[in-house]
Chain A
C-alpha cells in the first residue's frame, strides 16, 4: 500500500505524540485515577454523588496545594519536610491573631509572612550555608510546630474575632458553576485556589526563566552554577515558595475546619511528598510537573475515599497508598530502563 509523504509524516508525528504520552508517569497515574473513578462510580452508589465528590476534591486540595510547592523543591533535587508544621504554624498565626481581634485583611499577610520567614530560613541554610535540605527541614519540622504551640499555649482555637465569617467563608465556602452534563456543581473554595495555583505553577515551570532554572539545578547543579544561573538565589526562593504554599493551605484549612489545634497537618509532609512522587517528580531532581502533583494528590484521596466507601478497614489505607508510591516509581524505573536500550 502506498503512503504519501504527508501521511508518513503525520503517522510519525502521531506515533511520537502517543509514545511521548505513554512515556509519562503522569499519564499512567492519570489513567489509574480515571479508572479508579469509573470503577468506584459503578461499585459504590455513594462515590459519584455531588456531596462525596465535593468532599473528595476539598480534602485533596490541601495536600495538592502544598504538593505543587513541594514539586518545585523536588525538581531542584531538594526536599522540604517542614510543610506540615508550617501549615500548623500559619494556621495558628491567623487563628491566634484573629482570636485577639486582628482584622482578617491583616491576619492573612501575617500568617503568610510567618510561612515565608520559615521558608527563607530553610532556603538560606540550604543555599548559602550549604546544609543538606533533609537535615534543615527536619529541624524546622520540629521548630515550626513547637512555635505554634508556644504561640497558642497548645490550646484549641475556635473563636476568630469580629472577622470570623470571612475566614470561615474563605476556607469552607464554595462557588456554584454550571458544567455541561453535570449541571450546577458546587466547587469548594480550596479547589478554586488549587486550580489557580496549579495553572500558574504549570505556566511558571514551563515558560519562565525561574522555572527553567529549577530544572537546570536539579539536572546538574554544578553546570547551572558554571553557566551563570543564580543557583543560590533560586534555591532560597524555591523553599520560600514551598512554605508559602503550605501557609496558604494552612489558612484555607483553618477556615474549613473552623478550629485549629497544634496537631493540624501532623505527618502531612509524607502525603505531600507521596503526591509529588506518584505524580512523577523524581527525588533525585530534574523531573516533575504541577499537573502531576495534583493528580498524585487526587489519586491518594480517591484511594482513601474508596476504601471507606467499599467498607474496607481504614487500617489498610497506608498499605494501599504505600504500594502505590512504590509501584509508580518502580514502573517509571522499568520503563526508563527499557527505553534507554
Chain B
C-alpha cells in the first residue's frame, strides 16, 4: 500500500491555476525527485502535502485513510515533515530554538509551564552530531554558514520519527561539500524506510539519489518515471516542454 496517495489535486489562487488534477503516490523507502521550471507548481504541491494550505479539490490518503490537513501541525501529526526552501529560520534565535520552533518542550504544570531549555539544547546537539554537522545548539542562526543553516532545518525534521520528508531545494544555496552531505543524509533517510520528496533544479543531485522522477509543467504532471528508464536529456525536455509528456 502506498504511504501517501494524492488523487486529482488541483489548486488555484484567485484566477491563477497553480495545480491541475495532479495524482501522486509515495512508497516507503523511496526518493522521488520532483522537478519542473519556476512556477510549475512544485512548491505549491509540497505545501499542500505539508498542510500549509488545503487543495481546492482532490483527496489525500495516508496509509489508505483519507486525511485533511488544515495546518502544518496536522501533517506533522501524521508523520510528514518538511524542509522549506528558505529554510524558515529565525536569525535572531539560537539553533536549538529554531529546531524546536512551534513545538517547544515545556516543563511544569499548566498554566505555570516554562521552556525546558536544557533538554532542547541537549537534544538539538545530539541531532547535529547525528547529522555530522559542526552546528552548535547555542549559536545564533544569524552567525551560521549556509551548510549549518541547512543542518538546523534538517534537524527539525528529525525531532519526530517521520514517515515522509519533503525537501524544497535543499541543495540550492550550499557548498559542494555540503551538497554531498545532504545527499548522504537523504540516502540515510531512505534506508530508514522513509519516503523522501526532493524538489530541486539541480539535475545531477536529483539523478544521484532519486528512485523515481516526477515532472510538473504549468501545474500538470507530465511524467512519472523510474530513474533507470529516463535520462537527464529527457527530463530537461519534459521540463521545458520540448517533450510533451512521457
Judged by a CB distance under 8 angstroms, whether B221 is at the interface is no
A283 vs B235: C-alpha distance when bound (angstroms)? 48
A212 vs B105: C-alpha distance when bound (angstroms)? 11
A229 with B102: CB separation less than 8 A: yes
Given known contacts A208-B114, A209-B113, A212-B115, A223 and B90 CB-to-CB distance under 8 angstroms: yes
Judged by a CB distance under 8 angstroms, whether B156 is at the interface is yes
B115 with A223: CB separation less than 8 A: no
Q: Report which of B73, B86, B113, B156 forms a contact with A208, defined as CB distance below 8 A.
A: B113
Judged by a CB distance under 8 angstroms, whether A89 is at the interface is no
B88 with A215: CB separation less than 8 A: no
Interface residues of B in 63-86 (CB under 8 A from A): 71-73, 76, 84, 86
Across-interface contacts of B122 in A (CB, < 8 A): none
A220 vs B87: C-alpha distance when bound (angstroms)? 11
Given known contacts A219-B93, A227-B156, A229-B101, A207 and B115 CB-to-CB distance under 8 angstroms: yes
Determine the residue in chain B with the shortest Cβ distance to A226: B88
B72 with A226: CB separation less than 8 A: yes
Interface size on B, residues (CB 8 A): 25
Across-interface contacts of B103 in A (CB, < 8 A): 227-228
Determine the residue in chain A with the shortest Cβ distance to B72: A228
Most buried by A among B71, B90, B103, B114: B90
Interface residues of A in 270-318 (CB under 8 A from B): 286-287
- How near does chain A come to B87, taking the closest CB pair, in angstroms? 8
Interface residues of A in 106-120 (CB under 8 A from B): none
Judged by a CB distance under 8 angstroms, whether A222 is at the interface is yes
Judged by a CB distance under 8 angstroms, whether B106 is at the interface is yes
Interface string of B93-119 (1 = CB under 8 A from A): 100010001111010000001110100
B88 with A209: CB separation less than 8 A: no
Across-interface contacts of B115 in A (CB, < 8 A): 207-209, 212
Judged by a CB distance under 8 angstroms, whether B61 is at the interface is no
Across-interface contacts of A135 in B (CB, < 8 A): none
A208 vs B104: C-alpha distance when bound (angstroms)? 9
Interface size on A, residues (CB 8 A): 18
A286 vs B94: C-alpha distance when bound (angstroms)? 12
Q: Report which of A212, A220, A226 forms a contact with B91, defined as CB distance below 8 A.
A: A220
Most buried by A among B73, B102, B103: B102
Q: Report which of B73, B89, B106, B114 forms a contact with A223, defined as CB distance below 8 A.
A: B89
Interface string of A230-241 (1 = CB under 8 A from B): 000000000000
Across-interface contacts of A208 in B (CB, < 8 A): 113-115
- How near does chain B come to A335, taking the closest CB pair, in angstroms? 14
Q: Report which of B72, B90, B114 forms a contact with A220, defined as CB distance below 8 A.
A: B90
B72 with A212: CB separation less than 8 A: no
Across-interface contacts of B89 in A (CB, < 8 A): 220, 223
Judged by a CB distance under 8 angstroms, whether A328 is at the interface is no
Judged by a CB distance under 8 angstroms, whether A218 is at the interface is yes
Interface string of A191-215 (1 = CB under 8 A from B): 0000000000000000111001001
A-B contact pairs, 8 of them (CB 8 A): A209-B106, A212-B115, A215-B90, A216-B101, A219-B91, A219-B92, A223-B84, A286-B91
7 nearest CB pairs, A to B? A219-B90, A228-B102, A223-B88, A227-B102, A286-B92, A219-B92, A227-B101
**Chain B residues near A (Cβ < 8 Å):** 52, 71-73, 76, 84, 86-93, 97, 101-104, 106, 113-115, 117, 156
**Chain A residues near B (Cβ < 8 Å):** 207-209, 212, 215-216, 218-220, 222-224, 226-229, 286-287
